[in-house]
């Protein structure tokens, strides 16, 4: 085992959590790190309990839930890092944070509308509502959920 690569990995993990995939990428980005030694280091870190994939997944979900992303969008982001999430992972993260998807929608809408006055004219009102729907959909929420959540604000 290459001690230099191992020490560098410990240094990285001391600063923040990594998934095995992200750490592997980081270690392989260095030109002088042979792939077979990187794999050996990853396995050693896992066996010693220093590379905690579950903690990383939990923090990953929390981070994106706080930003208002839907569960499907978070799953999509996680798949880029070779992470798979169960429904329980989302339920636990939601309990930790104290909110669900609907709460997330409400917070996003409140945040986006806090500095805006909802216009009285029908066309301007419709324009703002459509803009809000596009914003919420970009966060991964379903169209019907968005429309339903906005009914309260655009009566």
DSSP-assigned states of every residue in 123-145: HHHHHHHHHHHHHHHHTT--HHH
Which pLDDT belongs to residue 85? 92
For the cut 70, the answer to whether the pLDDT of residue 144 exceeds it is yes
Which pLDDT belongs to residue 94? 84
For the cut 80, the answer to whether the pLDDT of residue 15 exceeds it is yes
Q: Are 78 and 90 in contact (CB under 8 A)?
A: no
Which pLDDT belongs to residue 68? 87
Which pLDDT belongs to residue 101? 63
- Lowest-pLDDT choice from 22-26, 28-32, 74-78: 28-32
Any residues with CB less than 8 A from the CB of 89 and at least 6 apart, and which?
Answer: 57, 58, 61
Q: What CATH number does the domain located at 3-51 have?
A: 1.10.10
């Amino acid at each position: 085992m290459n001690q230099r690569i191992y020490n560098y990995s410990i240094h990285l993990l001391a600063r923040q959590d990594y998934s095995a995939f992200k750490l592997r990428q980081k270690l392989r980005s260095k030109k002088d790190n042979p792939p077979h030694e990187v794999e050996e280091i990853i396995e050693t870190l896992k066996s010693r309990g220093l590379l905690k994939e579950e903690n990383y997944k939990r923090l990953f979900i929390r981070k994106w839930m706080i930003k208002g992303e839907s569960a499907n969008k978070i799953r999509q982001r996680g798949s880029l890092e070779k992470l798979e999430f169960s429904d329980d992972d989302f339920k636990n993260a939601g309990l930790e944070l104290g909110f669900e998807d609907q709460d997330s929608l409400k917070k996003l809408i409140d945040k986006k509308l806090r500095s805006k006055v909802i216009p009285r004219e029908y066309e301007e009102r419709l324009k703002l509502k459509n803009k809000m729907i596009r914003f919420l959909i970009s966060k991964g929420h379903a169209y019907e959920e968005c429309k339903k959540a906005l009914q309260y604000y655009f009566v």
